[in-house]
Amino acid sequence: MWALLLKYKLTLLGVLLGGIGGFAYYKFIGCASGTCPITSNPYISTLYGMIVGALLLNSFEK
């Protein structure tokens, strides 16, 4: 289990930071009218941030 966590530590860090960033984007910027498909829902915004963070930091792994 620990070997798997250490192997994908950058990807998991990207998931964590991306989730925090996605929720912060929803909370502080968001969409006032509710018509924005990503930023009007905190769950979708957080999930989108997690995916983007994982993909971004995964690109730095060997």
User: Is residue 61 within 8 Å of residue 45, measured between CB atoms?
Assistant: no
Residue 45's pLDDT band, with cuts at 50, 70 and 90, is very high
Q: Quickly state the pLDDT bin for 34 (edges 50, 70, 90).
A: confident
pLDDT, residue 33, reads: 83
Distance CA 5, CA 60 (A): 16
Amino acid at 36: C
Q: How far apart are CA 9 and CA 15, in angstroms?
A: 10
**How far is residue 43's CA from residue 46's CA, in Å, rounded to a whole number?**
5
What's the whole-model pTM score? Answer: 0.86
Sketch the domain layout of the chain as residue ranges: 2-58
Asked if residue 38 has pLDDT above 90, the reply is no
Q: Is the pLDDT at 18 greater than 80, yes or no?
A: yes
What is the per-residue pLDDT for 30? 87
